[in-house]
Structure 1
Amino acid sequence: MDIVSALQTSFAQLIGPSAIFYALLAIGLNLHFGYTGLLNFGQIGFALLGGYGVGIMTVTYQQPLWVGVLVGLAAAGGLAIVLGIPTLRLRADYLAIATIAAAEVLRLIFRSTASDPVTGSTNGLYGFAEPFTRFSLFDSSKQYSFFGVRFVGDDVWAMVVGWTLVLVLCLFVYLLAHSPWGRVLKAIREDEDAARALGKNVFVYKLQALIIGGMIGGMGGIFNALQTKSIHPDFYSTAQTFYAFGALLLGGAATVFGPVVGAMLFWFFLAIPDALMRQAIAGPDPLLPLTDAQVGAMRYVLLGIVIALLMVFRPQGIMGRRREVALDG
């Protein structure tokens, strides 16, 4: 069994575009759940609007890329307002239900045949990433090697931009968390009645957190669209939000770098067993009686066991602090 090859494949997932996408989703969820105590089960809906904002404006309406980026971010912020106004005055589970339903409704609307002239329906949208790759510092026809792992030039450019964006957002979250505004969010998370008794407008603070976190999720959708150079509605399934939640819990909620570390480890822990098991089932005398489809499912089972054990022995996550996630006081 080639352990080195498996580690190289896993390292590609550790630093690759998928880790960046889910890190962006998890950073937004961290602002919602980790710092404010909001249950957003529809983060992928914000990413959908971010990605389609770019695709629709550049492909359907022939607008510059920067216009699509602004429209995608505005659409994600608008969705947060639409969902937050009727639900944030109610119990937390109402927001969770509204967000997961909205994300699925948006996916079905964007993939419907009625929306084909605008969204491309199930075929999705293509041909909008050229302005992004035009600024690339790397040759798209070449491959670049990092510790034995090869990436094409366009992916290297996307990774440079993506990880830079992640670091900037981590700094942004750090500044927010250590500001008076961030301390109010933590007070709301711990006991919103006490925060309200101190004269804080809890609804406004929660809505602001929902908007900012949703727009960060929209940035994730924009990055994914530009990196993959395509948008498909079926990619934006509910499972993607729970992958981001898994990354957040793995790294640690209410920490600056927890979502980033969690996203990297999430895909690393998925890739390692996948690579090893596929080697074990290859050849005339396989070591494991599994099919390719079963290997694909088994890696999620193993990762689920890892996260479950983490929740038992270290519920605050790898980088988290127990007092930060003690939401019941």
Structure 2
Amino acid sequence: MVGYLVFLAISTGIAALFSLGLNLQWGYTGLINFGHVAFMTVGAYTTVLLALKGVPLIIAVPLGAGLAALLGLLIGLSTLRLREDYLAIVTIGVSEVIRLIVLNEEWLTRGTFGVQGFPLPLATWSPNLLMRLMMIALLTLIAGLTFWRMWQWFSKQLQQGKREGGFPVGSLILGIASSLLGLAVYVAGVMALYDYTYKAGLMVLLLLVLTVIFWQMERLARSPWGRVLKAIREDEEVAKALGKNVFWYKLQSLMLGGAIAGIAGSFYAWQQTSVYPDDFIPLTTFEAWTIVVLGGAGNNVGTVLGAIIFWAYNTVTRFVLPALLPFDDARLGAFRVMVIGLLLMVLMVARPQGILGKKEELTLGR
């Protein structure tokens, strides 16, 4: 059970990191990217292939993120001066081209055999008691900051409910459920760190990187740069009239979002301890879209919450549905996707802005 909760924390963290890049591109800038998984593919393969050549991981990961950003630059230079739907079409095509390259260029990527046996962070490290306690303290700090942000959100929901003459029952249930899940993962993480395992160390490293990137994303969103992105999303002609280089801002957003997805790809490879072309199918992109839409576009906290809800749903249905439905694995997987699609449809009717989204930001440039 402890091992599975650590796996759940890592999977949720990777999904949140991956979706933060998409949220920057679409939620803040209005760029429709249906091939976001291409950036993850580039980041994952670059990191593991360079590591196999002896490049230190602390250098391989930024290089992977840099190549993912370069891919965003190439896509942006060719499409961002065109209409939004061209970007959507091109990104789908690029993601499939990247997947076919890693599938067929066996001299570089080993093709369908995948890449295994590459160096992993903290895998051979045997921390003493002091280092394990320091890692537990770091995990406690991250958990404390997370619960503090959740409390801030719930306080705002409570105040809003009082102004509107009601009590946010749904927010209360969601807050309690998220808190209990977070507490369970925290306890499991502490236990795994005390009896140190590779996955426990990877979990702490991932949560630390996610915290830093989330904090920087929040700073950027409140900065003049972030306000220009929102202005472009709402009406780029107004931003142009104010003298802003709209094309350059879009390009920056696409590149930075791609770099974040590239870092998520590195962590994905480290979690799986292997990479295969079929790990990076288009469905991965649409899972990120589900997370962003669920949490609320243009809201980083909502994106993280969406990742938590998505993986909680994934976990519950994985264990509950087989006992209720006489389906084989293939049909069960399709049914789970169908159910989350139906839930999204209900959410769009009941709360189209997402759980933490704002109604005034629903236009997204339209």
Are residues 1:218 and 2:271 paired?
no
Q: Which residue of 2 aligns with 1:109?
A: 101
Report Cα offsets for 1:259-304 as digits up to 9, x if no partner: 1110111111122123112233xxxxxxx43333322222222111
Separation in 2, partners of 1:167, 1:108: 33
Q: Which structure 2 segments of 5+ residues have no match?
A: 130-183
Alignment of 1:220-299 (within 5 A): 220-280=264-324, 288-299=325-336
Identity over aligned pairs, percent: 41
Deviates more, 1:122-131 or 1:77-86: 122-131
Are residues 1:77 and 2:69 paired?
yes
Deviates more, 1:65-74 or 1:250-259: 65-74
* 1:124 partner letter: G
Separation in 2, partners of 1:14, 1:51: 18
Are residues 1:55 and 2:48 paired?
yes
Are residues 1:31 and 2:24 paired?
yes
Separation in 2, partners of 1:64, 1:298: 43
Separation in 2, partners of 1:155, 1:274: 21
Q: Which residue of 2 aligns with 1:284?
A: none
Separation in 2, partners of 1:178, 1:135: 39
Q: Which structure 1 segments of 5+ residues have no match?
A: 1-7, 140-144, 281-287
Are residues 1:324 and 2:361 paired?
yes
Is the Cα contact below 8 Å between 1:138 and 1:156 reproduced in 2? no
The offset of 1:78, in angstroms, is 0.6
Separation in 1, partners of 2:116, 2:7: 27
Separation in 1, partners of 2:260, 2:126: 23
Select which of 241, 253, 265 maps to 1:197. Answer: 241
The offset of 1:41, in angstroms, is 1.0
Select which of 217, 227, 234 maps to 1:173. Answer: 217
Kindly tell me the number of residue pairs found equivalent between the two proteins.
307
Q: TM-score w.r.t. structure 1 length?
A: 0.86
Is the Cα contact below 8 Å between 1:51 and 1:72 reproduced in 2? yes
Q: Aligned in 2, Cα 1:129/1:255: closer, same or farther, shift over 3 Å?
A: same
> Where has structure 1 moved over 6 Å in runs of 4 or more?
148-152
Q: Which residue of 2 aligns with 1:129?
A: 119
Q: Aligned in 2, Cα 1:299/1:128: closer, same or farther, shift over 3 Å?
A: same
The offset of 1:81, in angstroms, is 0.6
Are residues 1:43 and 2:39 paired?
no
Q: TM-score w.r.t. structure 2 length?
A: 0.78
Separation in 1, partners of 2:348, 2:318: 23
Is the Cα contact below 8 Å between 2:6 and 2:199 reproduced in 1? no
Is the Cα contact below 8 Å between 2:5 and 2:188 reproduced in 1? no
Report Cα offsets for 1:80-120 as digits up to 9, x if no partner: 110001111111111111111111101101110xx212211
Q: CA RMSD in A?
A: 2.4
Separation in 2, partners of 1:148, 1:186: 39
Is the Cα contact below 8 Å between 1:47 and 1:217 reproduced in 2? yes
Is the Cα contact below 8 Å between 1:253 and 1:316 reproduced in 2? yes
Are residues 1:309 and 2:346 paired?
yes
Separation in 1, partners of 2:126, 2:33: 35
Q: Which residue of 1 aligns with 2:81?
A: 89
Q: Which residue of 1 aligns with 2:154?
A: none
Secondary structure of the residue aligned to 1:130 is coil
Select which of 45, 49, 58 maps to 1:66. Answer: 58
Q: Which residue of 1 aligns with 2:146?
A: none
Secondary structure of the residue aligned to 2:300 is coil
* 2:211 partner letter: L
Separation in 1, partners of 2:116, 2:128: 22
The offset of 1:199, in angstroms, is 0.6
Q: Which residue of 2 aligns with 1:3?
A: none
Say which structure is richer in helix: 2
Is the Cα contact below 8 Å between 2:30 and 2:365 reproduced in 1? no
Is the Cα contact below 8 Å between 2:296 and 2:353 reproduced in 1? yes
Separation in 2, partners of 1:104, 1:124: 17
